[in-house]
Amino acid sequence: MSLKNSFLSFLVIISLFSCDKKRVFDEYKSVGKSWDKDSIVSFELPQMDSKKQYNLFLNIRDNNNYPYNNLFLIVAMEQPDKMTLVDTLEYQMANDDGSLLGEGFTDVKESKLVYKERMKFKPGIYKVHIRHAVRQTGKVVGVKTLDGITEVGFRIEN
């Protein structure tokens, strides 16, 4: 590779990372080709400034194998005082015609889903645990393996 090409590659990489000034934490975990209902995706968050407010997001990467319009999630946030806040959340993942929402040029889409806005953290370590709670209409038992979800992420922004 020539010096000119190396320099151009370096500039492209730097510009991609510098555009994301709001990002404080952004991590993904793979769930394979499908997300098992007993599989919990967990994140340990970095210590946050207790004087600032943050916006929190769940990031989902899915593909055309995702068979539903909505996604139901149970998110548990362990706080430093050992208190755990649990939320059951619903997000629209597809249009009425079945086409996936989210960003992306291929069949893989990335959805940035709002979890909490203007949250203030207490000093200490937080942990977030995410699992899906999708059920078919009229069924009590949850979907065992959720096809089409490949990665689950958690993001914190200023």
Kindly report, residue by residue over 51-70, the tens digit of the pLDDT.
999 999 999 999 999 999 99
What CA–CA distance (Å, rounded) separates 22 from 27? 14
Residue 14 has a pLDDT of 47
Domains of the chain in sequence order? 24-157 (2.60.120)
pLDDT < 70 regions, the chain: 1-19
Per-residue pLDDT tens over the stretch 125-143: 999 999 999 988 887 788 9
Q: Which runs of E-coded beta strand occur in 37-144?
A: 41-44, 54-62, 70-78, 84-92, 109-119, 127-132
Question: Which has the closest alpha carbon to 59: 111, 117, 106?
Answer: 111
